[in-house]
Structure 1
Amino acid sequence: MSAELLYASMEKLCKLHKSLYELAVNKTDIIKTGDMDALNQLLKDEQSHIAAIDRMEKERQKAAKALAPHIDQPTVTDCMDRLSTAEQDKITDIANKLVQQVFHLKEQNNLNQQLIHNSLQFVNVSMNLLRPQPENINYGPPKKNKKSSEKSAQGMFNSKA
């Protein structure tokens, strides 16, 4: 019974991660076009997916705890000892799918992060070109003209005399 719950929760996690990956791919297109309204809506959708993933992860932890009650926070690997060979194969397959899905999601999020970083750099360069640069208003020694710098190089004492 608990093995079925563990498998079901992991399968739902896999589906949710796949859906989140599809949102990340859509985000790439939205970032490229620069549609801020669509990006805001997509971010809201991502937040709801993340909340659902968090709920499913808690269910997976509860199912794993039922299979391995002697461990505080059991992992899927900890539960494998208590499963039959067929159940182990089934759980291993879905776990591998989940790992692969998370890896693809991570790669897509890295791409999106780089695109956003490049967009922000472009905006900063454009802003710096449009606004005038203020003069240096820091305190410091006054600018010297060439004649005064020659005199100061000689100093007050003339050693040739």
Structure 2
Amino acid sequence: MSAEALLTAMERLISYHQSLYELAGQKTDMIKKGDMAALDQMLKDEQTHVATIKKLEQARIQIAASLVPSIDKPTIADCILVLEQHEQQALLEKREQLSSVIDKLKEKNQLNQQLIYHSLQYVNLSMNLVNPKAAAQNMNYIHPQKAKSQAATGMFQSKV
């Protein structure tokens, strides 16, 4: 395999990561709107992207292994060392682009995670306001011994 195959694989990885980043941006909007049906579909689309990215990554690993057979699991840095000058520069640029897209994707996913967490907190708060008995027990302190005696006597005292 050649450096061209590696560059093509890197371009495809960049493309799919960029597309995944755009989906993450759309997911942020759906979380803000509370559109659960669209969010469910978005998650399916993301799973398809992730599966494709895994396949592309496996192809990249195979290409790198064929370029640098002396190393067990060669990295992009290992591949750069065996390529010609113009191919090295192109591969460095692709590596930086991929790294940049992945960093942006991580940030967007952290934002989405925080939005979902806050949404769940809001839902729990709303549920507690609607059904306060389930949310809170007796807020006053009662000595455990007295609590048992009050529970045992009940409303009707037969000894009276």
TM-score range, shorter chain: 0.7 to 0.9
Q: 1:43: how far off?
A: 0.1
Q: Show the counterpart of 1:106.
A: 106
Q: Show the counterpart of 2:39.
A: 39
- Of 136, 141, 158, 2:145 maps to 141
Q: What amino acid does structure 2 have at the position aligned with 1:83? A: L
Q: What amino acid does structure 2 have at the position aligned with 1:116? A: I
Q: 1:133: how far off?
A: 2.1
Q: 1:132: how far off?
A: 2.8
C-alpha RMSD of matched pairs (Å): 1.6
Q: Show the counterpart of 1:54.
A: 54
Q: Show the counterpart of 2:68.
A: 68
* Alignment: residue pair count: 142
* Secondary structure in structure 2 of the residue aligned to 1:133: helix
| Whole-angstrom distance in 2 between the partners of 1:139 and 1:6 | 72
Runs of 4+ in 1 over 3 A off after TM superposition: none
Q: Show the counterpart of 1:8.
A: 8
| Whole-angstrom distance in 1 between the partners of 2:77 and 2:118 | 40
Q: What amino acid does structure 1 have at the position aligned with 2:19? A: S
Q: 1:140: how far off?
A: 2.5
| Whole-angstrom distance in 2 between the partners of 1:139 and 1:114 | 40
| Whole-angstrom distance in 2 between the partners of 1:72 and 1:93 | 24
* Deviation sequence 1:69-95 (CA, Å, 0-9, x none): 111111000111110000000000011
Q: What amino acid does structure 2 have at the position aligned with 1:140? A: P
Q: Show the counterpart of 1:152.
A: none
Q: 1:2: how far off?
A: 1.8
| Whole-angstrom distance in 2 between the partners of 1:10 and 1:115 | 32
TM-score of the superposed pair, with normalisation by structure 2: 0.85
Structure with bigger gyration radius: 1
Paired-residue identity, %: 49
The alignment status of 1:94 with 2:70, answered yes or no, reads: no
Q: Which runs of 5+ in 1 are unaligned?
A: 144-161
